[in-house]
With several copies, the nearest count.
Chain A
Amino acid sequence: MAPDWNEVPDEEFRSVFRTWVDQNCPAHLRYMRKQRPLFNEVAEWYHALAAKGWLAPTWPRQYGGMGLSAAKHMIYVEEWGRLGCPRIPDHGIGLVGPLLIQYGTEEQKAHYLPCILSGEHVWCQGYSEPNAGSDLASLRTSAELDGDVFVVNGQKIWTTLAHCANWIFVLVRTERDAKVRQKGITVLLLDLTSPGVRVRPIENLRGETDFCEVFFDNVRVPLKNLVGKIHEGWTVAKSVLGHERIFLGAPTRPEYALERLRRLAEARGAFEDPAFLSRFARLRLDLYDLGSAFERYAKVLRAGGELGADVSALKIFTTELYQRITEEMLTVAGEEARFADDLGAGDVDIDAMNLFLDSRAPAIFGGSNEIQRNILAKAVLQLPG
Chain B
Amino acid sequence: MPKLMLDDPDGTLVMLSDSVTGFAGRFPGAKAMRERRGRGGTMDPLIWSAMAEAGWIGLLLPQECGGAGLGLREQTVLSEALGRALIAEPTGAASVFAATLVGGASPGAERSRLAAGMTSGEIIAVPAWTSGAKPMTARSVNGSILLSGEMRFVDAARAATDFLVVARSADGVILLSVAADAPGLAISERAGVDGGALATISFSDCAVPADRVLSRANRCEDLLRRAILHTRLALAAELTGVASKALELTIAYTSDRVQFGKPIASFQAIQHRLVDMWIEADFAAAAVVNAVDALQAKDDDAAELAVLAAKARAGEAAFSICRRAVHLHGAMGYTDECDIGLYLKRAINLNAMLGQPEQLRLEFVERESGYGRGRT
Proximity string of chain B (231-251) to chain A, C-beta cutoff 8 Å, 1 when within and 0 when not: 000000000000000000001
Interface presence of B14 (CB below 8 A): no
Interface presence of A44 (CB below 8 A): no
Report how many A-B pairs have Cβ atoms within 8 Å.
199
Proximity string of chain B (334-360) to chain A, C-beta cutoff 8 Å, 1 when within and 0 when not: 111100010010001101111010110
Q: Which chain A residue lies CB-closest to B350? A: A338
Instruction: State A376–B266 Cα separation when bound (angstroms).
Output: 13
Given A131-B258, A310-B282, A376-B275: A288 and B190 interface contact (C-beta under 8 Å): no
User: By the criterion CB–CB under 8 Å, are A341 and B190 in contact?
Assistant: yes
User: By the criterion CB–CB under 8 Å, are A205 and B336 in contact?
Assistant: yes
Proximity string of chain A (240-284) to chain B, C-beta cutoff 8 Å, 1 when within and 0 when not: 000000000000000000000000000000011011011011101
Instruction: State A364–B331 Cα separation when bound (angstroms).
Output: 6
The interface residues of chain A lying within 8 Å CB-to-CB of B348 are: 330, 337-338
Which one of A317, A353, A384 lies within 8 Å of B279 (CB-CB)? A317
User: By the criterion CB–CB under 8 Å, are A203 and B336 in contact?
Assistant: yes
Instruction: State A367–B367 Cα separation when bound (angstroms).
Output: 38
User: By the criterion CB–CB under 8 Å, are B192 and A385 in contact?
Assistant: no
Given A204-B335, A271-B372, A284-B364: A289 and B275 interface contact (C-beta under 8 Å): no
User: By the criterion CB–CB under 8 Å, are B335 and A337 in contact?
Assistant: no
The interface residues of chain A lying within 8 Å CB-to-CB of B191 are: 339-341
Proximity string of chain A (346-385) to chain B, C-beta cutoff 8 Å, 1 when within and 0 when not: 0000000100000011011100101001101100110111
Proximity string of chain A (111-138) to chain B, C-beta cutoff 8 Å, 1 when within and 0 when not: 0000000000000000010010111001
- Interface size class, chain B: 35 or more
Given A282-B361, A385-B266: A339 and B193 interface contact (C-beta under 8 Å): yes
Instruction: State A203–B342 Cα separation when bound (angstroms).
Output: 13
Instruction: State A214–B345 Cα separation when bound (angstroms).
Output: 28
Q: Which chain B residue lies CB-closest to A359? A: B323
Instruction: State A296–B362 Cα separation when bound (angstroms).
Output: 25
Which one of A203, A353, A364, A385 lies within 8 Å of B263 (CB-CB)? A385
Interface presence of B48 (CB below 8 A): no
Interface presence of B198 (CB below 8 A): yes
User: By the criterion CB–CB under 8 Å, are A281 and B364 in contact?
Assistant: yes
Interface presence of A316 (CB below 8 A): yes
Interface of A is mostly: helix
> Contacting chain A: which of B104-112, B220-228, B285-293?
B285-293
Q: How far is the CB of B255 from chain A (nearest CB, A)?
A: 5
Which one of A281, A289, A340, A381 lies within 8 Å of B365 (CB-CB)? A281
Which one of A207, A313, A338, A341 lies within 8 Å of B353 (CB-CB)? A338
Chain A residues 293-313 with CB under 8 Å of chain B are 293, 295-296, 299, 310, 313
Given A133-B259, A289-B287: A334 and B356 interface contact (C-beta under 8 Å): yes
Binding site for A on B (CB under 8 A): 5, 130, 153, 190-193, 195, 198, 251, 254-255, 258-260, 262-263, 265-272, 274-276, 278-279, 282-283, 285-287, 289-290, 305-306, 309, 312-313, 323, 326-327, 330-331, 333-337, 341, 344, 348-349, 351-354, 356, 358-359, 361-362, 364-365, 368, 371-372, 375-376
Q: List 9 A-B contacts (CB under 8 A).
A: A133-B331, A288-B305, A289-B290, A290-B283, A292-B283, A317-B279, A336-B352, A338-B352, A385-B263
Binding site for B on A (CB under 8 A): 128, 131, 133-135, 138, 157-158, 202-205, 207, 271-272, 274-275, 277-278, 280-282, 284-285, 288-293, 295-296, 299, 310, 313, 316-317, 323, 327, 330-331, 333-341, 353, 360-361, 363-365, 368, 370, 373-374, 376-377, 380-381, 383-385
